[in-house]
Structure 1
Amino acid sequence: MTDFTGCAAPADVVRRQYLASAAGDLDALRATLAPDVEWTEMAGFPLAGTYRTPEGVTSGVMERLGTGWDDWVAHDDTYIADGENVVVLARYTAVNKATGHLLDVRVAHHFIVRGGQIVRFEQFVDTAKVRDAMLP
């Protein structure tokens, strides 16, 4: 599907990002991100903060998740698209490497897609559930 500009529809770009993440294909994931992307992990999340550039996002978020968690997956299930805005309702599942505790928590992600690339991302998650999985 393409939008009126000839670029991939915003929801399709976001879906490619989830597929690349699930496959561990960081090159494909970076290809979905604009050079000036701003990627914000929620306050209270272990990787809280705003990351910039495709390399900054993959090294600051995706690669670091792999060091603390086994089998980290964002299961995207519901897409709500309105123009350049895409909200995805999803679920994180993973096992914390230090504690062996399972994480299974609902999340919402807000993406802004322009020109076929993700320019903004904001995460919403129950950070208490993430912390609980990290506690002995």
Structure 2
Amino acid sequence: MTTPTSDFAHSDAPADVVRRQYLASAAGDLEALRATLAPDVEWTEMAGFPLAGTYRTPEGVTANVMEKLGQDWDEWTAHDDTYVVDGENVVVLARYTAANKATGRQLAARVAHHFTVRGGKIVRFEQFVDTALVREAMTS
């Protein structure tokens, strides 16, 4: 198990790049988030998740994932708890917390994210989540 270093602001180490992505996401800083993504990034949201699919380009990822989450959920946050690093592969065990705007129901779900980082940029992302918990929070 590896955790990001404390001096990660300018590091190209895979865990540091991923940590910057989580921090930018939590802050709602889409420009900083896009800066962590490769121009040809492949970002896959899991089948069964409301935003399921694979998105490409930094702008495509933020428009089709982060901005849409912000439209449907209050305080959507991915809490990055544990990092496991193997070369360019970073697996993060995390939690999603949010409140669905339509139902007011709370979401608390464990997730795993697999990132591939090359040249200081995220080139691939794959999400693993209990989609039933997400759907449950979306239904009255």
State TM-score, norm by structure 1: 0.95
Q: State which of 60, 70, 91 in structure 1 corresponds to 2:95.
A: 91
The corresponding residue for 1:73 is 77
The corresponding residue for 1:35 is 39
The corresponding residue for 1:20 is 24
Deviations, residues 41-64 of structure 1 (Å, cap 9, x unaligned): 000000000000000000000000
Deviations, residues 12-42 of structure 1 (Å, cap 9, x unaligned): 0000000000000000000000000000000
Q: Which runs of 4+ in 1 moved over 3 A?
A: none
Cα distance in 1 for partners of 2:72, 2:26 equals 16
Cα distance in 1 for partners of 2:89, 2:137 equals 31
| Pairwise CA RMSD | 1.1
Pairs aligned (count): 132
In structure 2, stretches of 5+ residues that fail to align are: 6-10
2:101 is matched by which residue type in structure 1? K
2:43 is matched by which residue type in structure 1? W
The corresponding residue for 2:8 is none
**SS in structure 1 of the partner of residue 19 of structure 2:** helix
In structure 1, stretches of 5+ residues that fail to align are: 2-6
The corresponding residue for 1:102 is 106
The corresponding residue for 1:132 is 136
1:112 is matched by which residue type in structure 2? T
Cα distance in 2 for partners of 1:125, 1:58 equals 19
State TM-score, norm by structure 2: 0.92
2:38 is matched by which residue type in structure 1? A
**SS in structure 2 of the partner of residue 46 of structure 1:** coil
The corresponding residue for 2:61 is 57
1:92 is matched by which residue type in structure 2? Y
Deviations, residues 87-115 of structure 1 (Å, cap 9, x unaligned): 00000000000000000000000000000
